[in-house]
Amino acid sequence: MAVSHLLTHPFRFTISTFKLLCALHLFQTHVFEVGPAQGPSMLPTFSIDGDWIAADKTHARNRRGALRVGDLVMYRIPVSPDAMGIKRLVGLPGDYVSIGTPGQGGQEYMIQSSILTEPKSQVPDGHCWIVGDNLPASRDSRAFGPVPLALVTGKVVARCLPFRDAGWFENGLQPVKNDS
């Protein structure tokens, strides 16, 4: 009844469509989003091009406190005006992280203490440390430092396309079982 009513009233139809689009946009930005991803910085987890991923936006800013080291996060790149990125979460506030790359000079250096963490050398409050899976081809926290959690927009939970590679992403870190 409602649908045939709307179709015969074009102005109301326009308004209702506009309301629906607003609701869908809100859903996409705050609840769940599916979209394409490209770039070599997350090989072999993601292909350079052609992958479509699904992100759970309710984890934005880590407001549920449920993000864990090892999760894939979507974030606003702090040194770019509009680019979004996906990287792996390696450090949460208070964690100790290496700022270097394994196998290269500097790998033994840890994040310097900052005024927000004095006197310890930890990821500051409200920030996170993110690193790409493809270390040589990734511009990440090793280049631009800890990223404020306010720039994290969601947690990447699944790949949708290509269909034969579709599936949920698991956090590969598991607790070590102590059998003693």
Query: Which C-beta is closer to other proteins: that of 16 or that of 38?
Result: 16
Q: Is the bond into 44 cis (omega within 30 degrees of 0)?
A: yes
Nearest approach, Cβ of residue 97 and other proteins (Å)? 17
Nearest approach, Cβ of residue 62 and other proteins (Å)? 7
Query: Which C-beta is closer to other proteins: that of 6 or that of 48?
Result: 6
d(CA 79, CA 83): 9
d(CA 174, CA 5): 56
Choosing from 59, 87, 88, 127, the residue that interacts with other proteins (CB under 8 A) is 127
Nearest approach, Cβ of residue 154 and other proteins (Å)? 13
E-only strand ranges, the chain: 32-37, 51-56, 72-76, 84-91, 127-131, 147-148, 152-161, 167-168
* Catalytic residue (choose from 4, 16, 19, 41): 41
Q: Is 141 annotated as catalytic? A: no
Under 8 Å between Cβ of 44 and 61: no
Give residues 66-125 in contact with other proteins (rule: CB under 8 A): 76-81, 114-116, 124-125
- Greatest CA separation for the chain: 74
Dihedral sign of CA atoms 161, 89, 139, 86 in order: positive
Binding mask 41-70 for other proteins (x = CB under 8 A): --------------------xxx-------
Q: Is 41 annotated as catalytic? A: yes
18 binds other proteins (CB under 8 A): yes
Active site (catalytic) residues? 41, 87
